[in-house]
Structure 1
């Protein structure tokens, strides 16, 4: 849709002794817009996201929350005409900020209680689970027995590979990214978004729609920290290894260890920290 970035005027202030003082110039910023997700016509949640790959986003979200488990669980996902604005032509135009997903017959829609638990923003993730035990019970593809191993050097190279694919980040500096990589480090898909959890949902939605689930042997690389929410989402897609540029949270470490997932943090330069299942990371 071409709404990933937009131009704006910015006042630049330089406080250094030999600085240029104050000047005005054009700048590029990341677009952030709401996306309302409806299931069978009923509003479920609103997330602040960067437009693009929205169909993947909603599929990934519904997968990670255990509402769907297979692409066949969705019969239709389409933009609604419910959100409109007055365009330059004077006529109302679709904002493409509302998607309605129709579930297949026999697939239970989200309960009212689940819908009340959802809250999203660009700075935090979503967890509609009442307990961690629910997460364990609803994971479709256990990762504990995945025998894939990755050379440490392969994982260490992933942040640079991810950055190479971040086309919008180079212009704005304001986007998170997530990438799914095969056992040999080959890139399968990279997605960007103003929200970390949205970038991951777009990746997992792509994998679902492409028939790549479970993501056995794959590494999910994220540009920020590894939170419980991101660990949960990776587990729901059968990803055996989650790697992050920054730190994991304590609950992310506990969840990964309990599930048998390899969790890697602080992947920077030639160093990385392995927090769970280090047997999968080859150092010799």
Structure 2
């Protein structure tokens, strides 16, 4: 006999509804008749935990806002010319971002695959239980400008970006930002310094950032906070967009 609605109300109060439903399904499956109730209950508990973990990962990935939500470390291309070490990338993907506060700089020319790699690392972080936020620099600047009209919304955005386990800023300084956006960026990075890690993906490196940032003093502070506690990976000049385009054409 299965559980009643009253039973499920008890399970809901105890927050074990998923376990109960799975246990009910396993009991009803005739192929499990030879198994003890204790075995079925433990299986139901394991299945419910796996479902909960999958849902948590799905929520984390959605909240992160990745432009390539299917990016995977397993699919990173390590061909000659990309200057990527699979062992090093694997270690980065396995990083405990709640404990590690070292920044990561991904530098490559246009089409080098830095966005895919950043998303793959971010996806791995979500799977490992971390809170991640991804933004292109132009998106970040635009959101900061809009939020600046509301003091509470502005402060919440700054706090949210400062508080995530891993912040990914892509296309860093590909387009110019104004002094107010630079000031907000400084605030975010200052709050994250020695507390949370940031991944910066850019076509240029720290020396050029210091030139491109509108305010010399704030610019130096921003660059120092990113680079002095960071590891840089200079991705090779292989144009991955062109490679993928040729692969698609060859497959047709």
Q: Which has the larger radius of gyration?
A: 2
More strand by share: 1
Whose relative contact order is higher, 1 or 2, with alpha carbons under 8 Å and at least 6 apart? 2
